Amino acid sequence: MGAVEDITKRRWEVWEAGGIPTVTRRAFKDATTFPTGPVYVAYASSALEATNVEAVIQSADPPHMGLVPEAGVIHAIWDALLNAENPLLVCGPDIGAAGAEEEILALAERLALPVATGIFDYASFPRTIPTMRGVETLSEERYDVVCCVGYRQNTRGNATDLRFRDAGTIIGIGHDPAQLGNTFPLDVAVWGNVRQTLAALNASWKESDARLPHLERRAAALRSRGAERVRQLHDEAMGHASDKPIHPNYLAQVAGRVLPEGTMVVSESFRNADHLMPFGFDKRQWRLVRTFGASLGHGIGAAVGAQLGAPDRPVVCSIGDGAVMYSASGFWTMARYGLPILTVVWNNLNYQTVRTNFHTFGGEMAKQKKYPEVYLGDPEIDFVMLAKAQGIEGTTVREPQAIEAALRRGVDAIRAGEPYLLDIRVATVGTGADSTWHQRFKLRD
């Protein structure tokens, strides 16, 4: 076992040897001490099928714990961020949980830090702020400093969680010690209150720092790139304005314009475009509620809970057609208790996420372009009727020109205190999107 200082150097050795890295965290005070208590072992899902894998138990410093860590740790993080030439700030849901919106904005803006979020964390930083680079843009660029704030490293347990192998220094700050260092190792881990820790970092800022040439340069570059990025996203979505079936990006664009300020979106969307909606930190901007695992069945019940918890907010349940069928009885609850929730069903007639996964495995299905059990269009499910059967009115939307009026009708309904459902046919996006192949079954001819 190497000394603690060797970890950074050694942490990707297993990768380089072609193995599956096993990142195991123990609070070793002395790197030569063996664990004497429970040991948490995490491994990538691909390891389930891998053979001849050698695992390495890596030693590491214990996370620094407390509302804020000691001054030396704050100083070390600040020093790394202030002097970084090519940094990345990765934002996650602990920021919202801690109410640390102002603090993260101040940090990102003052230090001109490019920001990225994980795939389901798109509301963790406003997409219109110039430093925002986007969702899942956690490339393998050679960052000198990566700082993860409230970011859930372990989302899917596959290779994309094993990030930043070429980064210089990796910092993690978060509320949950089980999320710190669980898929990629951290050089500095802070288990503490995200708001207090960010406030302590920001307190190190001196007005004269704003004149540091590398910060000025980066801020200017981020401003122009950021504005361009927002424009591109807008133009890309508008380019689909007449697509039929409706393109998810265009639907998100119209919804972002038409739905009320302060909308709370409860999302059980996978391949839709919720990430393009106007989530943000101030009161008028939208808020997001979602789970971070991928187990279906959460959406409709969570929308009920969100509306009860925030009775004055417009609540929109944004959900895939496949996901609806895991919890459709919740519509009855909405009707029974008079919960004015607008449900938007992104109806792509498919379990498209599953098809994409099947394709990624690269076996027979991908070769034959036949993906069993993912096409849901035979028979088509009538979601308006499904809602109506439980006391909820709704409308079907098939034409892009009809989206706006339908959304307005939904908004009128929830303003009047009634739940409402829109079944919007959207294009299937992703691998094998044009496939409707499905095996036909009939018990008796």
- Give min distance, CB of 358 to ligand TPP, in A: 11
**Which is nearer to ligand TPP, 280 or 377 (by Cβ)?**
377
Among residue numbers 335 through 364, which ones bind ligand TPP (CB under 6 A)? Answer: 348, 350-354
Give dist(CA 303, CA 305) in Å, integer.
5
- Give min distance, CB of 353 to ligand TPP, in A: 3
**Which is nearer to ligand TPP, 143 or 371 (by Cβ)?**
371
Q: CA-CA-CA-CA torsion for 139, 169, 127, 403, nearest 10 degrees?
A: 40
Sequential DSSP letters for 313-327: S-EEEEEEHHHHTTS
- Give min distance, CB of 5 to ligand TPP, in A: 41
Give dist(CA 161, CA 156) in Å, integer.
7
Asked if 270 contacts 295 with a C-beta cutoff of 8 angstroms, the reply is no
Residues 6+ apart with CB under 8 A from 105: 129, 281
For ligand TPP, which residue of 96, 150, 320, 432 counts as binding (CB under 6 A)? 320
**Which is nearer to ligand TPP, 170 or 265 (by Cβ)?**
265
155 binds ligand TPP (CB under 6 A): no
Q: Which stretch binds ligand TPP (CB under 6 A): 77-85, 178-186, 321-329, 360-368?
A: 321-329
Residues 6+ apart with CB under 8 A from 230: 127, 128
Bridge partner residues of 426 (DSSP) = 246
Give per-residue burial for 98-131: e unless 16+ CB within 10 Å, then b.
bebbebbbbbbebbbbbbbbbebbbbbbbbebbb
Q: Which two tokens stand for residue 382?
A: 């009538």
Asked if 27 contacts 62 with a C-beta cutoff of 8 angstroms, the reply is yes
Give the 3-state secondary structure of residue 100: coil
The answer to whether the bond into 379 is cis (omega within 30° of 0) is yes
Q: Which stretch binds ligand TPP (CB under 6 A): 36-44, 58-66, 124-132, 318-326?
A: 318-326
**Which is nearer to ligand TPP, 124 or 347 (by Cβ)?**
347
**Which is nearer to ligand TPP, 61 or 274 (by Cβ)?**
274
* Residue reference for tokens 């596959």: 158
Amino acid at 148: C
Give the 3-state secondary structure of residue 252: helix
- Give min distance, CB of 159 to ligand TPP, in A: 19
- Give min distance, CB of 297 to ligand TPP, in A: 6
- Give min distance, CB of 379 to ligand TPP, in A: 16
Give dist(CA 53, CA 56) in Å, integer.
10
Among residue numbers 412 through 431, which ones bind ligand TPP (CB under 6 A)? Answer: none
Among residue numbers 56 through 95, which ones bind ligand TPP (CB under 6 A)? Answer: none
Helices vs strands, H then E, count in the chain: 15, 15
Q: Which two tokens stand for residue 204?
A: 């190190």
Q: CA-CA-CA-CA torsion for 433, 118, 138, 352, nearest 10 degrees?
A: -10
Per-residue interface string for the shown chain with ligand TPP, residues 272-301, x marking contact by CB under 6 A? x---------------------xxxx----
For ligand TPP, which residue of 100, 264, 306, 323 counts as binding (CB under 6 A)? 323
Using CB atoms, what's the residue nearest to ligand TPP?
A: 320
For ligand TPP, which residue of 321, 394, 411, 424 counts as binding (CB under 6 A)? 321
Q: Which one-letter DSSP state was computed for residue 60?
A: B
Among residue numbers 252 through 271, which ones bind ligand TPP (CB under 6 A)? Answer: 270-271
- Give min distance, CB of 293 to ligand TPP, in A: 8
Per-residue interface string for the shown chain with ligand TPP, residues 15-54, x marking contact by CB under 6 A? ----------------------------------------
Give dist(CA 396, CA 166) in Å, integer.
49
Asked if 128 contacts 71 with a C-beta cutoff of 8 angstroms, the reply is no
**Which is nearer to ligand TPP, 192 or 248 (by Cβ)?**
248
Closest listed residue to residue 142, CA positions, set 170, 104, 110, 116: 170
For ligand TPP, which residue of 172, 322, 400, 410 counts as binding (CB under 6 A)? 322
- Give min distance, CB of 305 to ligand TPP, in A: 18
**Which is nearer to ligand TPP, 215 or 324 (by Cβ)?**
324
Asked if 163 contacts 140 with a C-beta cutoff of 8 angstroms, the reply is yes
- Give min distance, CB of 245 to ligand TPP, in A: 13
**Which is nearer to ligand TPP, 68 or 349 (by Cβ)?**
349
Q: Which stretch binds ligand TPP (CB under 6 A): 57-65, 116-124, 132-140, 316-324?
A: 316-324
Q: CB atoms < 10 A from the CB of 231, how many? A: 10
Q: Which residues in this chain contact ligand TPP in the complex, by CB under 6 A?
A: 270-272, 294-297, 320-323, 326, 348, 350-354
